[in-house]
Chains A and B, each alone.
Chain A
Amino acid sequence: MGATFYTEPLLTFDLDVFVVGSPNCSGAVSAPSYNESAVTDRRYKDALRGRGYLKEEGECVLIEGVPVQFLPAYNPLVEEALREAQEIMYEDVPARVLRSEHLVAICLQTGRNKDRERVRILREQAKLDQNFLADVLRRHQLEDKWKLWTE
């Protein structure tokens, strides 16, 4: 859903939320999903159970009708993206969304066909700060992948 904040609506059936630290820390909505069940943190499901969200669908917990997957920040790029996520208001509820440049970088790093398509759409429709993006790509060794996907 993170990409959809910047682009036309894109089909997805679940909501990935990156989290840091304890279940009390806030997370941010991400665009690409990270299909590694090992990163699913049991603590978050336990915390949600305490709030009455008992139903699970695969790796997701059903929250108010939406399957949500919590993903621990799994590398320095994701940690940085979370630190620099922007706070928005979603119908009077504060939420955090990754910067579009970080979404592009995470897509490059994840590297699936689906991510390549997301990068194409983000380049077309999102306002990308090219200097900021270049810096992120350089620091996370993603420049070659960027060239491969965009040239």
Chain B
Amino acid sequence: MDGVSAEVTRIFAAKEQRRQDLARLPFPEKVRAVMQLQEMAATILRARGKAVQPWRIAGHDQKVGAASPP
């Protein structure tokens, strides 16, 4: 990339690798990640006056990487 240092190039490459790694997560892990995204986005959207409701799935810990419910 023009005008971008080697360090920044490395950071961008790591970010891209992170996205690819997320794409390979098991689907239930991705659902938990979506729920985390909803919580993060809801705060911003509510501040803008938009009513949104993050999912409330019984037994789902919203931390990605947490053990699946029985």
Contact = CB atoms under 8 A, between A and B. Distances in A.
Nearest to B21: A8
Interface in B30-69: 30-31, 33-34, 37-38, 41, 52-58, 68-69
Interface of A is mostly: loop
A7 B23 CA distance: 4
Contacts of A11: 34, 37-38, 41
B27 A5 contact: yes
Interface of B is mostly: helix
B5 interface: no
B56 A65 contact: yes
A91 B69 contact: yes
| Contact-size category for A | 20 to 34
Contact of A9 (B37, B57, B58, B69): B37
Contacts of A61: none
Contacts of B58: 64-65
A65 B54 CA distance: 8
B22 interface: yes
A124 B8 CA distance: 21
Contacts of A8: 19-20, 22-23, 30
23 contacts: A1-B31, A1-B34, A4-B27, A5-B27, A5-B30, A8-B20, A8-B30, A9-B30, A9-B31, A9-B37, A10-B34, A11-B34, A11-B37, A11-B38, A13-B55, A57-B53, A65-B55, A65-B58, A66-B55, A67-B53, A90-B28, A91-B68, A126-B23
Top 3 A-B residue pairs of the complex, sorted by shortest distance between their CB atoms: A65-B56, A9-B33, A8-B22
Interface of B: 19-20, 22-23, 25, 27-28, 30-31, 33-34, 37-38, 41, 52-58, 68-69
